[in-house]
């Protein structure tokens, strides 16, 4: 996508103290993907020559999560300018544009970065106009949209705070010239840090050109707290809902449907209220998903009907024109075309053949306390209500299983099997039982 050579530097060395979590801030999810995962995916869309992530000391949690993307250690952390300086050796031979972006900005779009790349300048800064300017630094703009300076909030005055054009922190530098400019950064400010923002005045002082590109405020939401995380999730979900509607999906109550970052829905899919898609879901054309269903790591074939109150767990592979009804759970199982499990069933570690009917209350008993075992049900099988299929077990094509059966051995093709205890009637037993209980009271 990028029109010129690009390197990406993701800054992620912050302490995340406001999240009050043992999990690093940038690893908290939005739409089922870590914040920094969104940033790296955006960067990948730009086809950069190199990508690095700057982390702090003892942040192996982040380094492990972003692998194979290489990480650079900033120790000790001495500001954003110092963070970029730490990448000097990694980018020493690189010539081109260096994008500096933050690991806690999951909503930033590749198209916005592309707009920055298309500007002829030594330094390009991404600005925005938030409703609440909070403690953002301000962008001091001169003639012809040139950028004179970035003034950090801690160091500005009331006059500058009236300026609502704010610094997002996202910046495009030019390598190799930026490294000499970064050497001129000083820490004589209220925080005693090396501000990356000072590179604007340094570049201007050397006769270089600095400009501002503006972006939508939603794109530049940085996540510093749980409240910010919730705001980012809300914006992400609105994007996904709009995308679904525009692509030919009907959402009966859009605000109640939740998507993951990789949800794929075909045309003429209908989604009822309160449906949740976890990561790894692909839905083919013409599928109806009824209310209160939860779907994760699953594939659903054309024309199938899911729910209401259905749960598809990872590994669920649903064929064409399949019915998975209310309170049915499917995990790590293939359900072939035209099969039905309309109510109150659990299908785990199984293969259900085409046009088979699974009766209400049926379960595959797939776990023996140590290992999972497979159940294979052939095509055209009828499994009666309240049946327990104790894996490993195989049911042949066309077999009939009587209601209430517990199947522990294979059933041959076209056989009928009923496994029930003999009925035993105890005359007057109910009356005597109640009388005994009343006496006990």
Residue 343 a catalytic site member: yes
Could you tell me what percentage of the chain is helix, strand and coil, using 3-state DSSP and rounding each to the nearest 5?
25, 30, 45
- How many residues does this entry show for the chain? 441
Q: Give kind and range of the element (H or E) at residue 42.
A: helix 35-45
Backbone dihedral region of 403: left (phi > 0), alpha (psi from -120 to 50 degrees) or beta? Answer: beta
CA distances from 362 to 324, 386, 411 (A): 13, 5, 16
Query: Is residue 18 a contact partner of residue 42, using CB atoms and an 8 Å limit?
Result: no
Please tell me the distance from the alpha carbon of residue 348 to that of residue 367, in angstroms, as a whole number. 9
Which residues contact residue 362 at a Cβ distance below 8 angstroms, ignoring those fewer than 6 apart? 341, 345, 346, 383, 384, 385, 386, 387, 388, 389
Torsion sign over Cα 299, 240, 100, 157: negative
Query: Is residue 390 a contact partner of residue 369, using CB atoms and an 8 Å limit?
Result: no
Q: Give kind and range of the element (H or E) at residue 357.
A: strand 357-358
Query: Is residue 245 a contact partner of residue 265, using CB atoms and an 8 Å limit?
Result: no
Q: Which long-range contacts does 329-338 make (Cβ < 8 Å, 24+ apart)?
A: 330/298, 332/372, 333/364, 336/379, 337/301
Query: Is residue 419 a contact partner of residue 393, using CB atoms and an 8 Å limit?
Result: no
Please tell me the distance from the alpha carbon of residue 346 to that of residue 365, in angstroms, as a whole number. 9
SS (H, E, C) 61-81: HHHHHHCCCCEEEECCCCCHH
At residue 423, the 3 state secondary structure works out as coil
Query: Is residue 315 a contact partner of residue 331, using CB atoms and an 8 Å limit?
Result: yes
Catalytic residue among 82, 274, 323, 343: 343
The closest alpha carbon to 31, from 264, 260, 277, belongs to 260
- Known catalytic residues? 343
């Amino acid at each position: 996508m990028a029109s010129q050579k690009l390197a990406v530097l993701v800054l992620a060395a912050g302490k995340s103290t406001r999240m009050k979590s043992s999990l690093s801030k940038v690893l908290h999810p939005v739409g089922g993907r870590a914040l920094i995962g969104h940033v790296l995916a955006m960067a990948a869309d730009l086809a950069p020559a190199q990508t690095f992530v700057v982390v702090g000391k003892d942040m192996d949690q982040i380094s492990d999560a972003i692998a194979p993307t290489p990480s650079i250690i900033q120790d000790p952390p001495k500001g954003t300018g110092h963070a970029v300086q730490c990448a000097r050796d990694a980018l020493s031979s690189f010539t081109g544009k260096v994008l500096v972006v933050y690991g806690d900005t999951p909503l930033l779009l590749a198209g916005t970065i592309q707009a920055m790349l298309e500007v002829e300048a030594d330094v390009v800064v991404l600005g925005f106009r938030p409703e609440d300017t909070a403690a953002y630094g301000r962008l001091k703009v001169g003639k012809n949209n040139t950028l004179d300076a970035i003034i950090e909030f801690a160091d500005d005055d009331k006059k500058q705070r009236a300026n609502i054009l704010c610094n997002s922190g996202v910046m495009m530098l030019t390598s190799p010239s930026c490294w000499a400019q970064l050497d001129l950064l000083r820490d004589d400010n209220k925080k005693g840090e090396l501000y990356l923002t000072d590179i604007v005045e340094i570049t201007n002082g050397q006769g270089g050109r600095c400009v501002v590109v503006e972006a939508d405020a939603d794109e530049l939401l940085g996540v510093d707290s749980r409240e910010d995380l919730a705001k980012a999730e809300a914006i992400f979900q609105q994007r996904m809902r709009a995308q679904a509607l525009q692509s030919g999906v009907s959402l009966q109550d859009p605000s109640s449907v939740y998507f993951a970052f990789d949800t794929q829905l075909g045309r003429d899919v209908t989604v009822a209220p309160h449906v949740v898609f976890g990561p790894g879901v692909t839905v083919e054309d013409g599928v109806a998903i009824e209310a209160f269903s939860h779907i994760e790591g699953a594939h659903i074939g054309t024309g199938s009907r899911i729910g209401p109150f259905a749960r598809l767990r990872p590994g669920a592979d649903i064929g064409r024109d399949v019915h998975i009804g209310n309170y049915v759970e499917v995990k790590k199982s293939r359900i072939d075309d035209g099969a039905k499990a309309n109510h109150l069933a659990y299908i785990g570690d199984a293969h259900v053949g085409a046009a088979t009917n699974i009766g209400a209350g049926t379960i595959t008993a797939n776990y023996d306390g140590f290992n999972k075992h497979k159940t294979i049900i052939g095509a055209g099988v009828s499994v009666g209500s309240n049946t327990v299929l104790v894996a490993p077990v195989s049911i042949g094509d066309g077999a009939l299983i009587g209601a209430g059966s517990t199947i522990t051995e294979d059933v041959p093709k076209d056989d009928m099997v009923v496994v029930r205890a003999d009925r035993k009637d105890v005359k007057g037993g109910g009356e005597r039982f109640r009388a005994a209980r009343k006496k006990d009271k």
